[in-house]
Chains A and B, each alone.
Chain A
Amino acid sequence: MTEFRFAVNVLPRAGILDPQGRAVEAALPHLQIRAIRDVRVGRRVELTAVADSTAEARALVERLAGELLSNPLIESFTVEELGATSSLASAAGADGPGPAGAPGAGAAPGAGAAPGTAGR
């Protein structure tokens, strides 16, 4: 079993009223900022999933994201893989960057981001 670190980014769906985004925009003139627009405020959840493979871990995270972390009626989400943090099996022996099996662990952060399955 390996620990995989993920981030789930939740945003209001396009076209959904986002009063927090409007409130941020309303503050921009006070900072003399004119070149920023279309602010949308969402939520980022980081978590560790324990699984045998990246695919298994991702499936678990996507389920959580769709059922609890976001409301598909009003929000969409993306799952971002932050990489394998440790291998629990080898943790008993040597610590360190596990046999890093973790396929995909080497991918640049964000490379694993994929559109959520909120449309299910």
Chain B
Amino acid sequence: MKVGVVVFPGSNCDLDTLRAFRLAGAEAEPLWHESPDLGGAAAVVLPGGFAYGDYLRAGVIARFSPVMRAVADFAAGGGLVLGICNGFQVLAEARLLPGALLRNRSLRFVCRQVAIVPERLDTPFTRAIGERRPLRMPVAHGEGCYYADEATLDALEAAGQVLFRYARPDGSTPEDPLDPANPNGSLRAIAGVISAAGNVAGLMPHPERAAEPILGSDDGMLLVRSLVEAAAERAAAAGPARVGGR
């Protein structure tokens, strides 16, 4: 079972992401952004970084890379796609996920450990977490303030599309966007969302940077393992002939 990690010019978390997925037992391979297909990957990860230097708006130039057509087709067919940080920004710009990531309210690049809580435990991205509890992992971004209009936010809440929220150490979620537990001022403390169909997800924090105890936390591996398990099940169910088909 292969996990493809897309590499855009300016991606800088691709190696960490490959390592985390290999630690979880997956065969993880880089996917160059000019690739017209996904090389038979059963799941695709868009890693963090500064694709195309974040020029114009974070993620928008990358959205038009050739590989993104294959990613969009894969997602439309139910394929599992995870965007981390810059990868989340790319998925939002590509309209594969709702909302937009604005400049942090503080105008500062924020790089520190945060806590997030999963709002769904039944998705391919969170199934290994087990219970709703705060997970510790770092954020490192200048444009992570999640925004959608009020009607969209209400619809996302109602549909269970809020996947993660920033949280205090005790697991409670701050309502005030200026609360110190909310690193960027995201509306409703949203740290990650999932598509309506449940197969595309994005989050600003970096699970791959919380993949081993020596990094200060290995909570991120719960997300990595979730995706590896879910992708392996799907690959097995699809049978070898269909794996890699587009």
* Complex: A43 Cα to B147 Cα, angstroms: 19
Chain A residue contacts of B171, Cβ below 8 A: none
Q: Is the CB of B103 within 8 A of A74?
A: no
**Is A90 in the interface zone, CB < 8 Å from B?**
no
Are A19 and B105 in contact (CB-based, < 8 A)? Answer: yes
Given contacts A17-B145, A68-B56, A71-B60, contact A23 B102 (CB under 8 A): no
In the complex, are the beta carbons of B107 and A23 less than 8 A apart? yes
Decide if B148 touches A73 in the complex (CB within 8 Å): yes
Known contacts A71-B57, A71-B93, A17 near B148 by CB under 8 Å: no
Mark out the residues of chain A between 26 and 57 whose CB falls within 8 Å of any chain B CB in the assembled complex: 43
A: interface residue count bin: 10 to 19
**With A17-B105, A17-B185, A19-B107 in contact, do A74 and B60 touch (Cβ < 8 Å)?**
no
Q: Report the bound CA distance from A23 to B148 in whole Å.
A: 22
Complex CA–CA separation, A32 to B56 (angstroms): 32
By secondary structure, the B interface counts as: loop
Indicate if the CB atoms of A17 and B60 lie closer than 8 Å: no
B100 and A19 within 8 A (CB): no
Give the total number of A-B pairs whose CB atoms are below 8 A apart. Answer: 32
- Size class of the B contact interface (CB-based, 8 Å): 10 to 19
Among residues of B, the one whose C-beta sits closest to the C-beta of A41 is B103
Residues of chain B within 8 A (CB-CB) of A19 are 102-107
> Does residue A117 face the partner (Cβ distance < 8 Å to B)?
no
Instruction: Tell me if A107 is interfacial: C-beta within 8 Å of chain B.
Output: no
Chain B positions within 8 Å of A16 at CB level: 102, 147
Q: Whose C-beta in chain B lies nearest to the C-beta of A12?
A: B102
A17/B147 contact (C-beta < 8 A), A71-B93, A74-B100 known: yes
**Residue of chain A at shortest CB distance from B150:** A15
Q: How far is the CA of A105 from the CA of B77 in the complex (A)?
A: 48
Task: List chain A residues, Cβ under 8 A from B57.
Answer: 71
B152 to chain A, nearest CB (A): 9
Q: Which residue of B lies closest to A26 (CB)?
A: B107
A84 proximal to B (CB < 8 A): no
- Kindly state the separation between the CA atoms of A69 and B61 in the bound complex, as whole angstroms: 10
Q: Which B residues form the contact surface with A (CB < 8 A)?
A: 56-57, 60, 64, 93, 99-100, 102-107, 145, 147-148, 185
Interface residues of A (CB under 8 A from B): 16-17, 19-20, 23, 43, 68-69, 71, 73-74
A-B contact pairs, 18 of them (CB 8 A): A16-B102, A16-B147, A17-B105, A17-B147, A17-B185, A19-B102, A19-B104, A19-B105, A19-B106, A19-B107, A20-B107, A23-B107, A71-B60, A73-B147, A73-B148, A74-B100, A74-B102, A74-B147
